[in-house]
Structure 1
Amino acid sequence: MINEGDSSMTMFARFVLIFSLAVSPGHVQATEPQEISWDTLAPPATVIENPFENLTDDQMDSLRQILRFEARAERSDDAEARAEAQALRKQLAEDGLDVDGLFAARLAIMEEREAAATEVNEDLVGMSVRLPGYVLPLEFKGRKVVEFLLVPTVGACIHTPPPPANQIVHVVYPEGIEVSGLFTPVWITGTMVAQSSVQTVGYVDGQAPVSVSYSMQPLLVEDYSS
C-alpha cells in the first residue's frame, strides 16, 4: 500500500521529470549568443519605385529649378520667379510628366532613405548577440573606458562622417576596458536594445552630436583577437 507521503513524493518526482524534459538541449542553445555582422543591424530594405530613373538630365534640371523658383516666390512674393516656375511646369506637362506627383515621390524616397538609416532590425531586438567593432571612447574611469560607441570602421565619426544611426551601438560597460588609443578592435557580447539617442563625440578642436539607434550593456567585451 502507498501511503500519503509516498504519493506526494511520486507526484513531485513526476513534476521534476516533466520540467527537466521541457528544458531541452535545443531550448538551452537558443540562449547562446548569435554572432552577427553589421549589415544585419539595418532593417530589410523596402523596395520603392523611383520615377526619376527614366528622366532626362534636362527634365531633372527643370524640376530643380521649379523647386528653387517656387521657394523664392513663396519667400518674397516674387512674381517673376512664380512665372518661371509655371513655364517650366507647363513644359514638363507637355512631356507627359506629373510635376506634383514627382515631388510627392521625392519626399517619399527621402523618408524611406531616412528610415533605412535610423530604424532598427526588430528581429535583433532582445537577442543575445556577439558583434565585432571598434571602440570610440565616450567616458573613462581611470584608465578604462566605461562608455563608448561601437562603430563598424576605423575613423568613423572622427576622420569620416558618422555611419547611419543603425550602424552604431551605444555601449555602457561599468567594468571598463583598457584601450590603446582610438578605435581599439573588440568583440562585444550582450543583448541588443532598440534605444535612440544622441551622443556627443569629442574632437581635438571641438565636439559633435552623433545619432545612435542601438544600445547595449554587454556581458563581455573581448579583444578582437580572442
Structure 2
Amino acid sequence: MTKGTAMTPDRWQTLMLGLGWPQNEATFAALSDAYRQSHRHYHTQQHIADCLTRFDSLRHEAEQPHAIELALWFHDAVYDPYRSDNEQASADWAMRFLHENSAPVSLRDRVHGLIVATLHDAVATDHDTAIMIDIDLSILGATPDAYDAYRHAIRREYRWVPGLLFRRNRRAVLESFLRRKRIFQTDHFHSSLEDQARRNINAELEGLR
C-alpha cells in the first residue's frame, strides 16, 4: 500500500468521540510508542495506518465499526518475536483500556474476539470478524514491490531464527494460506486481492526452496 497517515491523534480523538469517551491521550501516546519499538520492522505504526486505511473502504459494511477500529489500533500493541502470546497480550491491554472507560461487556468481548482472530487459525463466523482478518492479511495481496518489502521486514523481525528453521516455518505458514479455498473471506478483498496474494505467496515459496 501507499504510505498512510491514518494513525494520528485526530483519528484517535474521533474514535474516542464516537464512543462518547474522554480523549485518552495517554493511551494514544502509549500505543504510538509501542508501535515505534526498535525491534519492529513490519508491525509498526505504518502497519496500523495501512489497516485503518483499508478499514475505511469497508466501514460501511461493518455492524460494529467502533469495535473493529479499536481492535485494529490494539491488535499488535504487544509484539515480541520471542513470545507466542502477542495477540492475547494485545487483547489484554485492550481489555484494560475498555474497563477503564467503563465499556459495556458486549463491546469488551467483541474487541477481544476481533484481536484474537488475528491469530489466523480459524475461519470467521461473522462479517465483522472477516473484515478484521482480511484487513490484517491484506499485505499478502499487495503489489510485488510492497510484498517484497513486507517479507524482508518479517525476516528482520525474526533475524535471530536460523535460516533453515525460518524457511521451514515460513513455508508452513504460506502453504497453509494457499490450501484455503479463499485467503480473503470478504467479497471486497477476495475480488481485489486474492489473485495477487496467491501470486505473491507462490513467488516467495519459490525463493524459500
Instruction: Say whether the fold is shared (TM-score over 0.5).
Output: no
Task: Give the structure-1-normalised TM-score.
Answer: 0.19
Structure (1 or 2) with the greater strand fraction: 1
Structure (1 or 2) with the greater helix fraction: 2
Task: Give the structure-2-normalised TM-score.
Answer: 0.21
**Bigger radius of gyration:** 1
